Amino acid sequence: MFENWISNRMRTSTSFSAARAVAVTALIIGSAAGFPGAAYADNPPGSPTVITVDTTADGAAADPQSGLCRTAAGNCTLRAAIQTANARPGSTIVVPEGSYILTIPPDPQKVQGRNPDPTTGDLNITAPTTLRGAGRDRTVLDANGIDRVLSISAPVTLTGSTVTGGVTAQHEIPYYDTGGGGISNSSNLVLDDVAVRGNSAGYGGGIFNVPGSDLQTRNTIITGNTSGEAGGVRCDNTCTFTDSTISDNRVVNPEVWYRPGGFAGRGGGVDIRGRGVVTFDRSTVTGNSASDAGGGINVAPAYLDTLPRLLTDVIDVPVGTVVLRNSTIRGNTSGTVRDNCAKVFARIVSEGGNTSDDTSCDLTGPGDKVVP
């Protein structure tokens, strides 16, 4: 029996040693190939993961489909992190404190229509992703005037960041116009503790929320953006602004031939063109200006405000809806005239607790105040 026990122990020891040798060999081969031996075992390509940006430089991923955030130089840039997250839906990108300046201009051959090139120009998010900054005054995403900052076509949550420096080059209307200087959203976007400031576009200087999409802001500031229409935000579908401020955005009618007359110059703060409900809850719209109408808020689905006033005043059917709740809409102008709200084929519903300094926002709810 003792001899059998010794024989079994030797076989077990030999098997363990062989297995250990195989494991060590695999680890060495994996390391020699340039990736950690456990990377695919723990987070196989295609599965959600946490990606931490480790440089403020701009650069494209060498192989985003590998599931590893690496440029040719070996860094994990913000652009490379987004490319990697697009290949790993549901991932979270951690963006530490710093200014992340885009330096790769868009390809001139790829700025007409929706043909995003993730390696150049704006940052294209095409899979469900969370971008987590260190705070809106600490993490800055700066397009540096080469393009918009973010183009979003999947559910995204952006927190703790500033979006700035966007000047759109991507054309949604071929050859002519551009939307969303800071952000163009064609999916479901949540902004929490975000500042969208200092961007410009043909429409939606700060944000363009395209038809069929949804925008929600919480504790967010949208300020200092400019455009030919919709200085701060263009809402072509549902938008909800909670504990947010939309201020000091500006619309100037550029009088270009493809957008004549009433097609421009409106909605200094927010311009609403869809049928989806747009809600302001504990939010402030102030100091915005338009060259035509709706210095603070303009709501007119499908550009129905371009029809003659004799017609729109008679047929005033409420197609679009704005809901105001515990919000302040004051100090907005159209030209030199105080003009907080304008509406055509739409209604403004007050749920109470709102304040304005003119009567244009139809404040008739409980606790509403109009204080010149």
- Domain assignment of residue 52, yes or no: no
Do 355 and 371 contact (CB within 8 A), yes or no?
yes
Averaged pLDDT for residues 319-326: 94
Distance, CA of 60 to chain centre: 20
- Domain assignment of residue 105, yes or no: no
- Domain assignment of residue 1, yes or no: no
Q: For residue 106, what pLDDT band results from cuts at 50, 70 and 90?
A: confident
Residue 38 predicted with pLDDT over 70: no
What average pLDDT does the structure give for the chain?
84
Q: How far apart are CA 302 and CA 221, in angstroms?
A: 27
Instruction: Tokens 């931490």: give the residue.
Output: 52
Q: How far apart are CA 22 and CA 227, in angstroms?
A: 63
- Domain assignment of residue 70, yes or no: no
- Domain assignment of residue 53, yes or no: no
How many structural domains is the chain composed of?
1
Domain residue limits at 365: 166-370
- Domain assignment of residue 19, yes or no: no
Per-residue model confidence as pLDDT tens digits over 10-32:
444 444 344 444 333 333 333 33
Please say whether the dihedral angle defined by the alpha carbons of residues 91, 139, 169 and 120, taken in this order, is positive or negative.
negative
Q: What is the pTM of this model?
A: 0.84
Closest CA to 149 of 126, 177, 124, 129: 124
Q: How far apart are CA 151 and CA 194, in angstroms?
A: 16
Q: What is the pLDDT of residue 117?
A: 84
Do 78 and 95 contact (CB within 8 A), yes or no?
yes
Percent of the chain at pLDDT > 90 equals 66
Do 59 and 100 contact (CB within 8 A), yes or no?
no
Per-residue model confidence as pLDDT tens digits over 144-195:
999 999 999 999 999 999 999 999 865 555 544 578 999 999 999 999 999 9
DSSP structure class, residue 153: -
- Domain assignment of residue 10, yes or no: no
- Domain assignment of residue 140, yes or no: no
